[in-house]
Structure 1
Amino acid sequence: MSRLDRHDHDLRFEIGFATECGRRPDNQDYAAARIGRPRLDARRDAVAAVADGVGGGKGGREAAELAVRCFFDGFFGLPGSLGVQQAAARSLDAVNAWIVAQSRVDPQLAGMATTFTALILSGRAGHCVHIGDSRLYRFREGALEQLTEDHVIGRGDFKNILRRAVGLEHALRIDHAEFSLRPHETFLLCTDGVHGALSDARLREILGFRESPDALAQKIVEAAITAGSADNSTAMIVEILDTPPMVEREIRDHFGELPIVAAPEIGNLIDDYRIDSLLAEGRYSRLMRAHDLRGGGEVVIKFPQPRVAADKVFRRAFINEAFVASRVRSPWIGEVIEQQPERQTRLYSVMPFYDGETLEQRLQKAPCVSLQEGAQLATRLARAIAVLHRAGIIHRDIKPDNVLLLKGGGLRLIDLGVARLPQIEDFPPEDIPGTPSYMAPELFSGAGGDEMSDLFALGVTVFRLFTRAWPYGEIEPFSKPRFGAPASLTALRPDLPAWLEAAVAKAIDVDPAKRYGDVLELAFEIELGARSGSPAAPRKIAFYQKNPLLFWQGFSALLAFLLAWALLRR
């Protein structure tokens, strides 16, 4: 068995394999993996390959090993400017010619041939190069898919006889497929000693175990032997841990060609997604719960509402979400599932279905959020925002509607369509969106948004988390508010401590220079206060700020008294 780890330009994967002779006296399978080495190889790709020798005795093993080793030498010696498909075809053609020649000049190798199946990892793309009846499977989100076709006669007594193999004939016909790589998916390469003995259901069951690639490969081989496999059994597992981020041009090209059409109705079938229910509908988008008929599992699909905004604005929002998803992987940030271009026929984005509710929904329920619960939610949300800020991303629409509270206690910050991204074209100034009640004063003056405006929105969200009110009142769209003194948190919730009011007041100060240095400072202040109970020095709040209505009622009564007294004196 062997195991190989690699981190290369953010492509991370792990490989393991196992092989057994089974009932055969010798092993004619051969499996290996190789990664392009800097300054030694022309290519930086990674290749995992299996081959099953044909011809018996020395010939079968020789053909299998020659095919894999010589393919590696040829492929990694060709320049990276040559596409993967072309480089693989040239290499395999040379291997085929060599094996055909050897079988003719050496009587001990006469009739030797081999199957050949390779998985090539190149950036964000996977490639399959295949000939014969060894196989490549993809296991993704609980679903198993065979990516290769068996080149066998498939009828009667000759059903297992190969009709295509390396070394079988001069003209080599190779199958090639390209597909997008996705984190957390697993590939299985195996010979017919495995797939001939194990059903797809059994393979899916074994691949569902959360074990290392070596352990999975060994389990598969042992299961094949136990099931009565009479042939050599070889399995190679390639687990994708992470993929390189998409570049903006790739995302823009993909979304730029997709049409914007009316959002579907419940029961419609869109690109093998069955629309099951409506989750939410807003002015700009419709969120639908759907079932993925290809990969299985529940997802949420966001469809744009046509004729509400310019196409460019819509596409910018979907590009933003895909761009963030390709660069930020965090348990605090909502994911976007990358779609294969050949599958997607219209503009939408797909997200996992998170079982829970929004913070806004929680605020509509009794009882009010307690100090401990609120402090925990506030610090988690601050950490989610900090993840984005470390990546140079400004959310720009932080509010309870965009915070998901998961049933298991987790939290996800979602809806990154209006985010400001580093070195990426922004929305036109007149189209920069946001929710007015959570927008910092500087945004109403034309600022594009930064960490301080996100901090302000976080402060407003925390204020609302505890009080269900807005510190500066609910602001109507398209209005330009005047920011006076904020409402008092402790006046609305007398059970809360003064240090919490002081912390929130600093985060929502009208002057950005007077706010915290970053969102984590606010999180630390709240976390420390909730744990120790020691108050941050509270600022003195005027009676007018605590209860302006009572202040003006008293002031009016005083004026009335003075007026009456003056009239009586006359």
Structure 2
Amino acid sequence: MPPIEPRSAEPARSWAWPKRYEVRSQLASGGFGIILRAFDREAGHDVAVKVPRPVAVDPSHLDRFRREAAIVSTLRHENVLRALASDTSGEVFLPHFVTELIHGVTLHHRMIHDGRMAFEEIAQVGAQLTEALAAIHRAEVVHNDIKPTNVMVDPNGKVTVIDFGLAVAATEPAPRQAVGSWAYQAPEALDALLTRHRGDPTTAPTPSTAADVYAAGLVLHELTTGERVFDATSHEYQDVRAAAGKDVPRLSEARPGTPPAWDGVVARMTARDPADRPTAAEVAEEIRGIAPPPPGSGTASRTASVGLTPVSHDRSQSSAPAPRRSDESRTSPRVQHEPGKSAALKKDRTK
């Protein structure tokens, strides 16, 4: 991916809106951008259009926006948000990029309403999530903000990784303040934050593919137990220190009856030492070896042979839904899963 040339000195100005897109509603708004639902007159269907917040608020937002658009346009995988078009030059039109409109809900929304998932369903989510990450990493990109609000699932069980607002090219220096959600940070990132708190302002977490795998492991752990592993919701010293000193509990302890194979996968993903974590591609291959066939594949279930005990998805037997945290209350989408209607793409990330 070519480097993005900074244009932070650009003044705020008025841009024309591309007539190809008829805005129908605002789906989400965050600290760095706004997501709109629009009708694409040429394609004949609805799409999601992301635009930056006015550069008068913070000129660096436009640089970040251009970086995100460039990264999304390089990614091609069925489980990764698909870019359709973009124009971030700002020469005539308001800088924008267009993506598919996802029909579904975020994993966070799903857990809020349904609690923890059955093992078979979690394995399907995990396989698709890690396959998406493997494709992102092959493109030399680090997502840098894997969490339940950035993973969507549609009514057919298809998973899509979204929101590349903090993504960085693995070959490029990480932009300042490119730190994902605190509760899903890897130990090495938390250690860097602690060093900064102790008086070294030049120290910052370095985004890495291993950190993405760790965050994905925390997501799968949360889906299995119905509870978030860490409560860190800010960069306050005490929150970071508390999270940095904790190990991820084994699923076999947190949810009795967890299949040993699944317990082992998540434990390796969340190893404290990044050198001990498998790659996303290795995890995807391992999960596919223990997961039942995808929905609608027509293949007989393999759960008995691989040790994934079928679990009825009965809300009366599920643990209490994951509580809404202070940071999620700002970032989770307001989505209503209604037949025949598109759900909101997601709530854009806020800082």
Scaled by the length of structure 2, the TM-score of the pair is 0.69
- Aligned ranges 1:281-296 → 2 under 5 Å: 281-296=29-44
- Aligned ranges 1:423-438 → 2 under 5 Å: 423-428=171-176, 431-438=177-184
Q: Which amino acid aligns with 2:122?
A: G
Q: Which residue of 1 aligns with 2:65?
A: 318
Q: Which residue of 2 aligns with 1:328?
A: 75
C-alpha offsets along residues 521-546 of structure 1, whole Å, 9 cap, x if unaligned? 223333333453359xxxxxxxxxxx
2:267 is the counterpart of 1:520: no
- 1:294 Cα offset (Å): 4.8
Q: Note closer, same or farther for the CA distance 1:308–1:368 as it changes in structure 2 (3 Å cut).
A: farther
Q: Note closer, same or farther for the CA distance 1:422–1:450 as it changes in structure 2 (3 Å cut).
A: closer
Q: Which residue of 1 aligns with 2:167?
A: 419
- 1:343 Cα offset (Å): 8.5
- 1:412 Cα offset (Å): 1.7
2:109 is the counterpart of 1:361: yes
Aligned counterpart in structure 1 of residue 18 of structure 2, from 250, 267, 271: 271
- 8 Å contact from structure 2 (residues 170, 208) kept in 1: no
Gaps of 5+ in 1: 1-245, 263-268, 536-570
- Aligned ranges 1:38-187 → 2 under 5 Å: none
Aligned-partner Cα distance in 2 for 1:407–1:328: 24
Q: Which amino acid aligns with 2:74?
A: R
Secondary structure in 2 aligned to 1:365?
Answer: helix
2:191 is the counterpart of 1:453: no
Q: Note closer, same or farther for the CA distance 1:400–1:344 as it changes in structure 2 (3 Å cut).
A: farther
- 1:474 Cα offset (Å): 1.6
RCO higher in 1 or 2 (8 Å CA, sep ≥ 6)? 2
C-alpha offsets along residues 490-545 of structure 1, whole Å, 9 cap, x if unaligned? 344324223322321221122212222x123223333333453359xxxxxxxxxx
Q: Which amino acid aligns with 2:18?
A: D
Aligned-partner Cα distance in 2 for 1:259–1:414: 29
Aligned counterpart in structure 2 of residue 440 of structure 1, from 186, 202, 207: 186
Secondary structure in 2 aligned to 1:427?
Answer: coil
- Aligned ranges 1:530-549 → 2 under 5 Å: 530=291, 531=303, 532-534=305-307
Q: Which residue of 2 aligns with 1:233?
A: none
C-alpha offsets along residues 105-160 of structure 1, whole Å, 9 cap, x if unaligned? xxxxxxxxxxxxxxxxxxxxxxxxxxxxxxxxxxxxxxxxxxxxxxxxxxxxxxxx
Aligned-partner Cα distance in 2 for 1:271–1:494: 55
C-alpha offsets along residues 375-396 of structure 1, whole Å, 9 cap, x if unaligned? 0110111000000111211111
For the pair shown, which has the larger CA radius of gyration, 1 or 2? 1
- 8 Å contact from structure 1 (residues 320, 418) kept in 2: no
- 8 Å contact from structure 2 (residues 259, 307) kept in 1: no
- 8 Å contact from structure 1 (residues 316, 427) kept in 2: no
- 8 Å contact from structure 1 (residues 483, 510) kept in 2: no
Two-structure CA RMSD over aligned residues (Å): 3.1
- 8 Å contact from structure 1 (residues 320, 416) kept in 2: no
Aligned-partner Cα distance in 1 for 2:145–2:128: 17
Aligned counterpart in structure 2 of residue 302 of structure 1, from 38, 47, 50: 50
C-alpha offsets along residues 161-200 of structure 1, whole Å, 9 cap, x if unaligned? xxxxxxxxxxxxxxxxxxxxxxxxxxxxxxxxxxxxxxxx
- 8 Å contact from structure 2 (residues 9, 59) kept in 1: no
- 8 Å contact from structure 2 (residues 36, 50) kept in 1: yes
2:231 is the counterpart of 1:474: yes
Q: Which residue of 2 aligns with 1:188?
A: none
- 8 Å contact from structure 2 (residues 140, 171) kept in 1: no
Q: Which residue of 1 aligns with 2:320?
A: none
Secondary structure in 1 aligned to 2:34?
Answer: strand
- 8 Å contact from structure 2 (residues 168, 174) kept in 1: yes
Q: Which residue of 2 aligns with 1:486?
A: 248
Aligned-partner Cα distance in 2 for 1:378–1:261: 44
Aligned-partner Cα distance in 2 for 1:375–1:350: 31
Q: Which residue of 2 aligns with 1:120?
A: none
- 1:309 Cα offset (Å): 6.8
Aligned-partner Cα distance in 2 for 1:454–1:475: 17
Aligned-partner Cα distance in 1 for 2:9–2:158: 36
Secondary structure in 2 aligned to 1:432?
Answer: coil
User: Which structure has more strand as a fraction of its residues?
Assistant: 1
Aligned-partner Cα distance in 1 for 2:63–2:227: 32
Q: Note closer, same or farther for the CA distance 1:309–1:513 as it changes in structure 2 (3 Å cut).
A: farther
C-alpha offsets along residues 238-269 of structure 1, whole Å, 9 cap, x if unaligned? xxxxxxxx7445xx48x87976679xxxxxx9
- 1:484 Cα offset (Å): 1.9
Q: Which residue of 2 aligns with 1:405?
A: 153
Aligned-partner Cα distance in 2 for 1:366–1:423: 40
Aligned-partner Cα distance in 1 for 2:33–2:226: 25
Aligned-partner Cα distance in 2 for 1:315–1:421: 17
Scaled by the length of structure 1, the TM-score of the pair is 0.44
Q: Note closer, same or farther for the CA distance 1:439–1:344 as it changes in structure 2 (3 Å cut).
A: farther
C-alpha offsets along residues 451-501 of structure 1, whole Å, 9 cap, x if unaligned? 211110110111112223222x22121132332232343344324223322
2:222 is the counterpart of 1:464: yes
Aligned-partner Cα distance in 1 for 2:98–2:9: 17
Aligned-partner Cα distance in 2 for 1:463–1:344: 47
Gaps of 5+ in 2: 193-203, 292-302, 309-351
Aligned-partner Cα distance in 1 for 2:25–2:121: 31
Aligned-partner Cα distance in 1 for 2:90–2:228: 46
- 8 Å contact from structure 1 (residues 402, 413) kept in 2: yes
C-alpha offsets along residues 177-225 of structure 1, whole Å, 9 cap, x if unaligned? xxxxxxxxxxxxxxxxxxxxxxxxxxxxxxxxxxxxxxxxxxxxxxxxx
Aligned-partner Cα distance in 1 for 2:174–2:50: 21
Q: Which residue of 1 aligns with 2:345?
A: none
Secondary structure in 2 aligned to 1:364?
Answer: helix
Aligned counterpart in structure 2 of residue 508 of structure 1, from 270, 273, 278: 270
Q: Which amino acid aligns with 2:249?
A: A
- 1:417 Cα offset (Å): 2.3
Secondary structure in 1 aligned to 2:142?
Answer: coil
Aligned-partner Cα distance in 2 for 1:298–1:362: 24
Q: Which amino acid aligns with 1:469?
A: E
Aligned residues: 277
Superposition misfits of 4+ residues, deviation over 6 angstroms: 255-259
Q: Which residue of 1 aligns with 2:319?
A: none
Q: Note closer, same or farther for the CA distance 1:286–1:260 as it changes in structure 2 (3 Å cut).
A: farther
Amino-acid identity (%):
26
